[in-house]
Structure 1
Amino acid sequence: MLLTIDVGNTHTVVGVYRGFDKVEPHAVWRVATSKRDAADDVRAKLLPLMAAAGVTAHDVDAAAMASVVPALTRAWSDAVRELAGVEARLCTAEAASAAGLFKSAYPNPREIGADRVADAVAARALFGAPVVVVDFGTATNIEVVDEDGSFLGGIIAPGVETSASALFSHATRLSTIDLAAPPAAVGKSTEEAVQAGIVLGEADRVDGLVRRIFAELGRTCPVVATGGLSALVAAHSSEITEVLPELTLEGLRLLASARR
């Protein structure tokens, strides 16, 4: 079985696949990212999740990981090695390029985040080129793959939850409000007004940025949303055409498969 790990600043998403050619994961887990975790802490989180899905450490014979938290890259790598006796393949622009899955028109490919690389790999494989990915995480990342299949660049903006947390922490009269879509753009309560600003505002911000990207590309193309809040925002977007919450894990699966 293949273990895929996407270590983000807020959440870590783990998926397990029954085979390298299986597009759908057997199980997916989302856990809070704790930047103080050591390998023992990671194992303590991972083992019960695997057990609940009927997966043992002996079932895992390969692993691939994208991490944007350097302090946790080693912790997760060590945990996987100690649990399953395998080395997790790290997703980088260099690794994906060597596997023939990624090429870049970026001046400094080494600064491209691992999650952005994995998203670009998966989106190009699934939808061809050009393609745009919108990843709703701690940051809202927009990745652009041009018609030649090269990673052209993208946009990084504060994420939905990041923006909401900043608002709640600075506006003393606003309490934490559930991130859900309001019934209308004009809120009839403080809660609805905040939801309109955060959820509908994010959808319109993404749509506006995507239209600017289309203008620079000189054409439209598929726009794929991923991340935990992708379905919520995409429902109110006019430019997002596909929603694949686990796109990053698919990129890691492809990277692991290319190694074989």
Structure 2
Amino acid sequence: MLAPMSDNVVYEVSGGLATVTLNRPDAMNALDTALKEALRDALREAAGDPAVRAVLLTGNGRAFCVGQDLKEHVEELRRSGGGALDTVREHYNPITLAIASMPKPVVAGVNGVAAGAGAGFAFAADYRVVADTASFNTSFAGVALTADSGVSWTLPRLVGPGRAAELLLFPRSVKAREALELGIANRVVPADRLAAEAEDAARRLAEGPTVAYAALKESLAHGSSHSLAETLEKEAELQARAGASEDHKAAVEAFVAKEKPVYRGR
């Protein structure tokens, strides 16, 4: 199924994989209101669709997403002042939460520049495949703003609190190879292979044990802010859920029979 959520976001579902493509290439996928609303709605659609078992988030053109459309932002500042930042609660927060909390893995295929909220959306994904020509930039302080889109939560978990503070206080372009060294990128691939490699990673996850992946996401999020004892209890709860899944039974039977398991996502 291929359908535009709007002119600015293309949403496609194939074989359990939902591909969400930001589609304002002439504006480097800058986030105007129409794009933010379409992206939020597409991610919610993917999160709630039981036929979708993994999500690939990527961009069309030479940028992944350069963050807020500053031309629109300037007009909104002139019109309503501080009300221009209502978009954080209305758009950026639900987009980030959808990426980070949906019960299925999200792969970011970072095809170019990811800046500001665009970087934040990539950081919120579970796995980042990055073109060797791509880069990341927190950028917020460069326009006298603080972090949003969860960057103050996700970035320290990727690179450590000290390096996160540096990248936020002194925003700069972090090239793909450095991003790999820092732990921002999981894989760096040639730019002309980005689409294929990102789709391959996402499709492998779409064909995997969805219940187990959902439990892993929940466990990682819980463990980052709870004690060892609390995390052990959460692991026991989630292991019981995964152990009761059809996919676990199929995996064990396949192992005993020395066959490759076929997962159904339930």
TM-score norm. by structure 2 comes to 0.24
Richer in helix (by share): 2
Structure with higher RCO (Cα < 8 A, 6+ apart): 1
TM-score norm. by structure 1 comes to 0.24
Richer in strand (by share): 1
